[in-house]
């Protein structure tokens, strides 16, 4: 009975923290909307302001990687809720590895942009927007990887199940958010390239 009361108390204490995550995600969403709105206003100013480059091919591969990572994150969360801790850890490791691969592919995509002579600082700010939007997204990927490491660490310890599931929920919500934001950014940039 005492254990149940303690778990219920922990669950109630975690609700405001999850609400804070939703506020942060809304703020991040608004940041990316501001970037894309700024891009639209800038490119609408006339000739010479459009995104006059082809997006790096690595963006396609990184999109596939992040979609796959979303599936492995879903499986990790499902395993945690089903008390399948070995599966939870395996899928968390897979999600982290895919997240790192995504990060590396994005950095190499910047290298492809540089090879196309599309530098961060240039007379056409639409190209700079590509760096800013993908860079801000990479910061969110880094934060997501930190959350994944925290969830993985808790899965190896004898963490109470309510805390394990809470950690997985927070990581999952954040990770799916960065996946959705990337899909949005990629489609947005695809529609606005020359």
Calculate the dihedral angle through the C-alpha atoms of 108, 114, 115, 118, rounding to the nearest 10 degrees: 130
CA distance 68 to 89: 16
Taking the CB of residue 167, how many other CB atoms lie within 10 A of it?
Answer: 21
pTM (2 decimals)? Answer: 0.89
- Report, as an integer, the average pLDDT of 106-121: 90
* Collapsed DSSP state (helix, strand, coil) of residue 159: coil
CA 184 and chain centroid, separation: 11
- Domains in the chain (CATH in brackets) are 17-192 (1.20.120.80)
Please tell me the distance from the alpha carbon of residue 49 to that of residue 40, in angstroms, as a whole number. Answer: 10
The phi, psi pair for 55, rounded to 5°, reads -65, 145
Provide the greatest CA pair distance for the chain. Answer: 71
Chain segment 77-97, per-residue pLDDT in tens:
999 999 999 999 999 999 999
Buried b vs exposed e over 77-91: b needs ≥16 C-beta within 10 Å? Answer: bebbeeeeeeebbeb
pLDDT above 70 coverage of the chain, percent: 94
Torsion angle, CA of 184/185/190/193, rounded to 10 degrees? 150
Residue 47 has pLDDT above 60, yes or no: yes
């Amino acid at each position: 009975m005492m254990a149940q009361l303690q778990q219920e108390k922990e669950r109630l204490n975690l609700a405001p923290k999850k609400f804070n995550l939703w506020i942060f995600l809304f703020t991040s969403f608004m940041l990316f909307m501001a970037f894309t709105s700024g891009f639209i206003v800038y490119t609408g100013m006339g000739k010479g302001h459009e995104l006059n480059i082809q997006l790096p091919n690595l963006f396609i591969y990184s999109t596939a990687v992040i979609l796959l990572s979303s599936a492995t994150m879903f499986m990790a969360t499902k395993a945690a809720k089903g008390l399948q801790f070995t599966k939870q850890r395996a899928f968390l490791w897979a999600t982290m590895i895919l997240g790192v691969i995504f990060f590396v592919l994005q950095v190499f995509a910047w290298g492809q942009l540089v090879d196309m002579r599309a530098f961060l600082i240039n007379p056409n700010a639409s190209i700079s927007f590509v760096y800013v939007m993908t860079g801000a997204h990479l910061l969110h990927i880094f934060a997501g990887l930190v959350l994944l490491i925290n969830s993985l660490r808790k899965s190896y310890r004898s963490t109470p199940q309510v805390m394990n599931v809470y950690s997985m929920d927070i990581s999952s919500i954040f990770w799916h958010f960065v996946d959705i934001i990337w899909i949005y950014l990629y489609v947005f940039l695809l529609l606005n390239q020359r």
